[in-house]
């Protein structure tokens, strides 16, 4: 008997029990869970690199006041495209998800949503994302569309490499480049270096996330950096976070930013130190808490170029 026959609207183990999704009509809940609408951290982590790109553009003197409108568009785009990515990931991973306790009751393996329905829902979300993308200039549109290959391949990387987190970093942080191009009409070395730094950030926080599923992933044959690093994961995470701050520092040096920018990086560095010190690799709840705190980390990273922009304006 299918799980969905006995629990047609059962909540996945990793769903948020008191979220707004649980107050929505029963017919809508599986689709909202499918796009992880009850867990906004993914939308934050997709949207924050876009805001980093915009804040870098502001620091470089491009269209400072129009950036507020662009920031809103990127927030909408991040929400719907993160949702579309989750749907696509669940379609591809439905057999693996059924074998992992945390994901076994996700809508597709639980039988609450069919694969055909999930594909249709994903297409709708993608069209909304496209409607946002075409509001930008030609360069930003081309850069945004070029990320589709990264998105399409990502769910398969955990089957062939212990470094799927690196591919996620390439994908999730593409917004740095799209946003900078949308604001500046060009790309700069600063934006490219910041993109590389954000890749290191993702390697750190997604290794933290993967620590929750290490045992189940090993049984299901799914690879991750958490499995590769094992008991040395803390040191690797610290190293990735260190490279993140170093990368942002190099970006500021190349752009000849003022001392205000580098002082603005200090809170982000302190936050990363806090994460590493508080991390308990064998406590799933602790790992999830540390992972979610990367919303604050991303905001702090974006704040450093804002400090530079304010300095130049004032």
Given a cut of 60, is residue 4 above it in pLDDT? Answer: no
Give the separation between CA 98 and CA 100, rounded to whole angstroms: 6
CA–CA separation, 180 vs 8, rounded Å?
44
CA atoms within 13 A on the CB side of 166: 8
Tokens encoding 306: 């804002």
pLDDT of residue 120: 97
Residue with tokens 């992880």: 36
Q: Which helix (H) or strand (E) holds 10?
A: none
pLDDT in tens, 35-88: 999 889 999 999 999 999 999 999 999 977 788 999 999 999 999 999 999 999
Higher pLDDT pick, 98 / 169 = 169
* Distance between CA atoms of residues 296 and 298, nearest Å: 5
Is the pLDDT reported for residue 3 higher than 70? no
pLDDT for 270: 98
Instruction: Give the model confidence (pLDDT) of 104-124 as tens digits.
Output: 788 898 889 999 999 999 999
**The pair of three-digit structure tokens given for residue 196, joined into one six-digit string:** 């590389």
Average pLDDT for the chain: 91
Contact between 244 and 284 (Cβ < 8 Å) = no
* Residue written as token pair 């991390």: 279
- Say how many C-beta atoms besides its own lie within 10 A of residue 174's C-beta: 22
Tell me how far CA of residue 233 lies from CA of 161, 173, 229, 240, 273, in angstroms: 17, 22, 5, 10, 15
Query: Are the C-beta atoms of 185 and 178 separated by less than 8 Å?
Result: no
Q: Hey, is 108 helix, strand or coil?
A: coil
Summarised one tens digit per residue, pLDDT across range 206-255 is 999 999 877 767 666 789 999 999 999 999 999 999 999 999 999 999 99
Closest Cα to residue 172, out of 185, 157, 161? 157
Give the C-alpha distances (Å, rounded to integers) separating 104 from 2, 17, 107. Answer: 12, 16, 9
Using the predicted structure, report yes or no on whether residue 2 has a pLDDT greater than 70.
Answer: no
271: which 2 tokens?
């936050």
Query: Of the candidates 198, 72, 87, which has an alpha carbon nearest to the alpha carbon of residue 135?
Result: 72
CA distance 297 to 48: 10
Give the CA-trace dihedral at 158, 159, 160, 165, to 10 degrees. 0
Each residue of 9-39: pLDDT tens digit?
Answer: 666 655 666 788 888 898 999 999 999 998 8
What span, in angstroms and rounded, lies between the C-alpha atoms of 145 and 255? 27
Q: Which phi and psi angles does 133 have, rounded to 5°?
A: -60, -40
Answer whether 191's CB lies under 8 Å from 180's CB.
yes
DSSP labels, 124-168: HHHHHHHHHHTTS-HHHHHHHHHTHHHHHHHHHHHHH-S-HHHHH
What's the burial of 274, exposed, middle or buried (CB within 10 Å: 0-12/13-18/19+)? Answer: middle
């Amino acid at each position: 008997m299918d799980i969905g026959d006995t629990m047609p609207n059962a909540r996945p183990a990793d769903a948020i029990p008191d979220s707004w999704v649980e107050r929505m009509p029963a017919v809508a809940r599986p689709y909202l869970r499918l796009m992880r609408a009850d867990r906004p951290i993914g939308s934050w982590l997709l949207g924050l690199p876009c805001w980093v790109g915009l804040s870098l553009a502001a620091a470089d003197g491009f269209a400072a006041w129009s950036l507020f409108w662009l920031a809103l568009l990127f927030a909408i785009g991040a929400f719907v495209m993160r949702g579309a990515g989750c749907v696509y990931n669940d379609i591809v991973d439905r057999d693996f998800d059924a074998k992992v306790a945390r994901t076994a009751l996700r809508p597709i393996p639980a039988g609450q949503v069919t694969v055909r329905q999930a594909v249709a829902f994903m297409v709708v979300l993608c069209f909304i994302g496209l409607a946002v993308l075409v509001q930008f200039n030609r360069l930003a549109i081309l850069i945004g569309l070029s990320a589709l290959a990264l998105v399409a391949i990502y769910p398969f990387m955990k089957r062939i490499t212990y470094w799927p987190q690196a591919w996620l970093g390439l994908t999730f942080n593409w917004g740095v480049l799209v946003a900078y191009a949308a604001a500046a009409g060009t790309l700069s070395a600063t934006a490219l270096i910041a993109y590389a730094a954000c890749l290191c950030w993702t390697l750190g926080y997604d290794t933290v996330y993967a620590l929750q599923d290490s045992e189940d992933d090993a049984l299901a044959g799914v690879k991750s950096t958490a499995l590769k690093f094992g008991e040395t994961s803390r040191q690797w995470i610290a190293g990735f976070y260190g490279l993140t701050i170093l990368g942002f520092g190099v970006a500021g040096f190349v752009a000849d930013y003022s001392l205000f920018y580098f002082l603005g990086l200090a809170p982000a560095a302190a936050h990363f130190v806090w994460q590493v010190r508080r991390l308990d690799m064998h406590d799933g709840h602790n790992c999830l808490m540390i992972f979610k705190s990367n919303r604050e980390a991303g905001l702090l990273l974006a704040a450093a170029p804002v400090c530079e922009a304010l300095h130049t304006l004032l």
